[in-house]
């Protein structure tokens, strides 16, 4: 009996409990015996669950590098431990209120794997269980702020909470009249698809309108189990989007992202954000330059369906928030005409509808 089918017969908690936490346990990888890696995982814990480990073994570097420690994590002096100043912008513990109408609520301290490039590297694997009091204080804060319409649950990974606990949190938030939508940010469907059980989906369905942003970085993460998990989520009416982190040497190539985004669409997942890697200390070896992200975006636009093209976003250090980085197609713009470069870099001229000075009182005048 091969190892893979053994894994698929177990339930998600059993699989997770067999995760490896030290490089030496992955003796098949030649780097496993690098003595510096013990130092790395003391500072930044490691977790690779058996499902994803077997995928790293069979499919190789692009998956393995995302989760296997690297001595470069110790040498990187660039960046900050909390690059987005999430802790500073937290009116109550575990909740960041940066944009007026929405909050980020960190409800879980667990993930199904620990990604080496994680923005919350400072916390992952170190932070304590998120207590009931913390959840209750967050819910009270949201209830007291009628401007909050959109609650984004993240962590850690909210789908690593038990069904009952997730149900409780979702019910508490749903009971607040002014909250319109709830979003869940998760990597679980791609790295521990066994967690997406019928029972979980039954719980989630009770709390519509529910949106889920799943995290995928490379087409090799997509397996039959992953497709089944995503089908279950989509069938239950959850609106699915994806977030992808642009990672040097892993997916910083439009041919790879082209395949990934197309495959996500076939799974009814709409690519939402391609994220420039944050300036998190210990992750410098993953970072790409902005120009390379812009070039990739420009090439994608001509290659694939508009539905498959995400926004390329930078999350500004120091808490400035997320901003799209858009390739410019405008060559010139004046009251008479606009000159635009198309996806093949050919120039086209388009007359302005009403030549002359901007109309007064028009909300649409940008010039
Ligand atoms: C990313 C983020 C959000 C959600 O942003 P959207 O652009 O609406 O997806 C909300 N709050 C914080 C603090 C965030 O980092
Ligand atoms: S799943 Fe998300 S929160 Fe968890 S380690 Fe990976 S990137 Fe970080």
Q: Residue 204: which CATH number?
A: 3.20.20.70
Is the torsion defined by CA of 4, 8, 14, 19 positive or negative?
positive
Residue 340 counted as domain residue: yes
- From 44, 94, 121, 124, the mutation candidate for ligand 2 (largest count of ligand atoms within 8 A of CB) is 124
Are both 165 and 247 inside the same structural domain?
yes
Cβ neighbors of 360 (< 8 A, separation 6 or more) are none
Identify the pLDDT of residue 187.
Answer: 98
Q: What is the pLDDT of residues 36-75, one digit of tens each?
A: 999 999 999 999 999 999 999 999 999 999 999 999 999 9
Identify the pLDDT of residue 2.
Answer: 47
What interhelical angle do 132-143 and 163-174 show, nearest 10? 20
Ligand 1 centroid to residue 91 C-alpha, Å = 16
CB atoms within 10 A of CB 294: 16
Q: Give the whole-angstrom CA distance, residue 3 versus residue 331.
A: 57
Identify the pLDDT of residue 1.
Answer: 39
Segment 284-288 shows an average pLDDT of 96
Are both 238 and 348 inside the same structural domain?
no
Length, in residues, of the chain: 367
Are both 149 and 127 inside the same structural domain?
yes
Are both 346 and 265 inside the same structural domain?
no
Residue 270 counted as domain residue: yes
Ligand 2 centroid to residue 107 C-alpha, Å = 13
* Cis geometry, peptide bond prior to residue 130 (ω within 30 degrees of 0): no
Range of the domain at 14: 3-75
Pick from 64, 53, 69, 65: nearest CA to 4: 53
- From 110, 112, 157, 273, the mutation candidate for ligand 2 (largest count of ligand atoms within 8 A of CB) is 157
Provide, rounded to the nearest whole percent, the portion of the chain with pLDDT above 70: 95
Q: Give the whole-angstrom CA distance, residue 264 versus residue 318.
A: 32
Segment 4-26 shows an average pLDDT of 86
Identify the pLDDT of residue 344.
Answer: 86
Provide the number of structural domains found in the chain: 3
Residue 283 vs residues 29, 84, 104, 131: alpha-carbon distances, Å: 21, 14, 23, 29
Are both 337 and 316 inside the same structural domain?
no
- The residues annotated with a catalytic role in the active site are 98-99, 102, 111, 115, 118, 120, 278, 315, 322
């Amino acid at each position: 009996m091969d190892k893979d089918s053994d894994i698929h017969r177990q339930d998600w908690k059993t699989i997770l409990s067999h995760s490896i936490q030290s490089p030496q346990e992955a003796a098949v990888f030649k780097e496993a015996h690098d003595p510096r890696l013990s130092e790395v995982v003391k500072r930044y814990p490691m977790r690779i669950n058996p499902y994803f480990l077997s995928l790293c073994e069979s499919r190789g570097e692009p998956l393995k590098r995302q989760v296997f420690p690297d001595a470069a994590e110790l040498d990187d002096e660039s960046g900050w431990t909390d690059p987005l100043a999430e802790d500073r912008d937290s009116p109550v513990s575990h909740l960041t209120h940066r944009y007026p109408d929405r909050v980020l609520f960190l409800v879980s301290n667990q993930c199904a794997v620990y990604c080496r490039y994680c923005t919350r590297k400072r916390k992952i694997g170190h932070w304590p269980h998120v207590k009931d009091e913390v959840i209750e204080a967050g819910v009270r804060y949201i209830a007291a702020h009628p401007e909050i319409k959109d609650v984004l649950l993240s962590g850690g990974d909210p789908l690593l909470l038990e069904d009952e606990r997730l149900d409780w949190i979702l019910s508490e938030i749903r009971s607040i009249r002014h909250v319109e939508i709830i979003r869940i940010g998760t990597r679980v469907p791609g790295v521990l698809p066994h967690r997406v059980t019928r029972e979980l989906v039954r719980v989630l369905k009770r709390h519509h309108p529910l949106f889920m942003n799943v995290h995928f970085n490379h087409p090799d993460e997509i397996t039959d189990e992953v497709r089944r998990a995503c089908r279950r989520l989509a069938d239950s009416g959850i609106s699915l989007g994806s977030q992808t982190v642009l990672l040097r040497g892993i997916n910083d190539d439009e041919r790879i992202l082209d395949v990934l985004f197309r495959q996500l669409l076939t799974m009814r997942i709409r690519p939402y954000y391609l994220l420039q890697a944050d300036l998190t200390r210990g992750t410098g070896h993953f970072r790409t330059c902005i120009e390379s992200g812009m070039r990739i975006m420009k090439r994608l636009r001509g290659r694939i369906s508009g539905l498959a093209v995400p926004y390329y976003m930078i999350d500004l250090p120091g808490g400035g928030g997320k901003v799209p980085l858009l390739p410019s197609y405008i060559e010139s713009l004046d009251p008479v005409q606009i000159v635009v470069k198309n996806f093949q870099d050919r120039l086209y001229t388009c007359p302005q509808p009403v030549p002359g000075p901007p109309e007064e009182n028009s909300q649409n005048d940008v010039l």
